Amino acid sequence: MMINNNLAYRINITKQEDEFWTSNQRKMHPIHYTISYRASFKPELPEFFIRRYLNDKTKVVMDPFSGRGTTIIQANLMGYKAIHNDLSPVSYFIVKARQYIPEKEEFLNRLNQIDLKKNRKEPNLEEKERFYPFFHPDTYKELLNLREEYLNNPDDKILKYIMFIALSRLHGHSDGFFSVYSFPQFSVLPEAQKKNNLRRNIKIIYKDIKSRIIKKYLNDHKIEIPSEYKISNFNEYYQLDSQNLYMIPDNSVDLIITSPPFLDKVNYKQDNWLRAWFIGVEEELNDLALGIYNSLEEWKEFMKNSIKEMIRIIKPGGRIVIEVGEVKYKKNTIFLEDVIMDIINNYFNNVYVDEILINKQMFTKLSNCWKIENNIKGTNTNRCIVLKKYYHTYKINPVSFNKKIKLTRKLLNI
């Protein structure tokens, strides 16, 4: 059944544009930036909304499309319990790994226990084809030794953090990475890497992984982790489809801050193949239906189902902040907050659109290299639509509803 109970509110909704948070880069705690992740938002975004809507540390913050965990980590840094959800096992790993952040001593002691130089049998041809475009054979051997240690001890939380730091160093474009010159935000395919090596005349040199892991750890822990972060002990971590968050009870979350996959802009599977291999979840990732939508209609259906779940788990009076972008679709620019607004107006009677905030700052999510024109394909603004759940489900009464619209129109003189 189509309903339209939000129209009265909709008339009042204006889009507020401002620089709500800074456009400066990397101003928040370094543990946010340890690992790059495609289409992540800046930590300033969840910080802004947590400050705006919460002032009591018993509240719970959640993100159903958590990615690299920007909302979760920021909530914990501010002393709030958080609930992570993302269908991707790579996302699960990189967020869960930061639940416990080891002290320098324990980190170094555990790392020293691993025999990274241990000899291994010669890789077969297929392996060489896959990994040698990225790594020197001795670097590859060290990676295999670290990986094996982790796969044999998946519950060792210090080792998990070591793996997390190593994962962040897997591929990228500076000497701090284990690979030859490559892209840091996503794993390119071996064929593409091979071509690039030829084109750039790249020599595959040995990169010692231990010194690079230590350097990265020290660099990202120059600023102390605040004691509030210990709340992360109470976090919950899920790997569910956002359309069915069955493990999260009704009315149990105070604030959701999230950004869904945008139409078909990012291929989360292909882009993460090397990372998924390293942490042993490649097959799991391949089996998932991870956010590629061929039409706006498909995306709307997906968002309708996901919003239904968000509304179910949010407490009455709680808010859902959905960050979306503008996308090019069939040669038109579509502001996705308008699409969300339509979904709310047409299908839901237990939330209303509270406000729409557009952060003015312009940015490009990826730089323009590897022949990817992201300025055109990607999103350029932070457009946040905020929904608020009614304390009581709004009963649809056509008479009073029409009266309400008439009154609003009269007030606004329209």
Site for ligand SAM, rule CB under 6 A: 37, 39-41, 65, 67-68, 70, 86-88, 91, 241-242, 259, 261, 268, 290-291
For ligand SAM, give the closer residue by CB, 88 or 179: 88
* Minimum gap (Å) between residue 68 Cβ and ligand SAM: 4
Q: For residue 394, what are its two tokens?
A: 């709004």
Q: Judged by CB, which is closer to ligand SAM: 146, or 281?
A: 281
Q: Given the complex with ligand SAM, which of 40 and 345 has the nearer CB atom?
A: 40
Q: Which is nearer to ligand SAM, 156 or 264 (CB)?
A: 264
159 vs 386, beta carbon nearer ligand SAM:
386
- In the bound state with ligand SAM, the residue whose beta carbon lies nearer, of 142 and 309, is 309
Using alpha carbons, list the distances in angstroms from residue 345 to 10, 255, 353: 8, 21, 9
Q: Whole-number minimum distance, CB 412 to ligand SAM, in Å? A: 35
Select the residue whose beta carbon is closest to ligand SAM and give its number. 67
For residue 128, count other CB atoms closer than 10 A to its CB.
14
Shortest distance in whole angstroms from residue 88 CB to ligand SAM: 4
For 140, residues 6+ apart whose C-beta sits below 8 A from its C-beta are 123, 131, 132
Count Cα atoms within 13 angstroms, Cβ side, for 252.
14
Q: Closest separation between CB of residue 83 and ligand SAM, Å?
A: 13
Q: How far is the CB of 406 from ligand SAM (least distance, A)?
A: 41
Q: Smallest distance, Å, CB 64 to ligand SAM?
A: 6
